[in-house]
Each structure stands twice: as C-alpha cells, then as structure tokens.
Amino acid sequence: MEDNEEPNTLAKVKKPRSEKQIQAFKKAQAKRDENRAKQKEDSKKVLEEKILQKAVSIKKKQIKQMRVLDNVSDDDTPIEEIKQIQRSMTPPPLRPIQQIQTPVVKKSQFYFI
C-alpha cells in the first residue's frame, strides 16, 4: 500500500531561514562578488605587464637591428666585415651538449656443474 502514497507527502519540508541567516548569506555573496572583481582586475594587470614586457623586448630587438644597419654604410665594404659586425652584436647560438658514451663491458658467464 506504500506504492499508492503520493510523492508530495514524502517530500521533506525545509525549515525557513531566519532573518540573520538571510543577511549573512547576502553579505557572503557581496564579499564573493568583490573578490571575483578584484581577482579579475589583478589578472588584467598581470596580462598588461606581460604585454608591456614583450613590447619592450621587441623594441630592443628593433633598435639592435637598426644599430647594425647604421654601422653598415652603402660604400664598398666587404661582406666579411659586415658579417663580423653582425656576429659581434648577436650572441652565438647554443650548441647541444654531446653525451659521453661509455663502452658496455660484457661479463663472462660461468656455469658450474
């Protein structure tokens, strides 16, 4: 006979919140919204700083390239001197470190009877 009962009668009735609980919940929501806004603003500042750093590095590269072009004039300078100037202004590329290979020593196998 339990199958014939209505599902509404089995539903648990929730206790209404008190006025202090409602106020505390609203206060928590306001604080959470404030923290979210602050975090969003901080992330924007960090992003702006990264963009500025990248812009400065690009500008530095452009200045270096312009310095190289300014050092090279339109006269009959040999190409070797131009390459030497370019090498002096740019750092050498990093080479990968070669691994030292050690020989594998085979151990002789002994069988005792």
DSSP summary character for residue 4: G
d(CA 60, CA 54) in angstroms, rounded, equals 10
**Has residue 65 been placed in a domain?**
yes
**Has residue 83 been placed in a domain?**
yes
**Has residue 111 been placed in a domain?**
no
Nearby residues of 71 by Cβ (< 8 Å), 6 or more positions away? 85
Average pLDDT, the chain: 81
Containing domain of residue 77, as a range? 42-90
Q: Helices (DSSP H) in 5-90: which residue ranges?
A: 7-10, 19-71, 79-89
**Has residue 78 been placed in a domain?**
yes
**Has residue 32 been placed in a domain?**
no
Range among 9-13, 39-43, 66-70, 77-81 with highest mean pLDDT value: 39-43
DSSP summary character for residue 2: G
- In this prediction, residue 92 carries a pLDDT of 64
**Has residue 70 been placed in a domain?**
yes
- In this prediction, residue 1 carries a pLDDT of 44
Domain count, the chain: 1
Per residue in 53-106, pLDDT (tens digit) is: 999 999 998 888 888 877 766 666 677 877 787 777 777 667 766 666 676 777
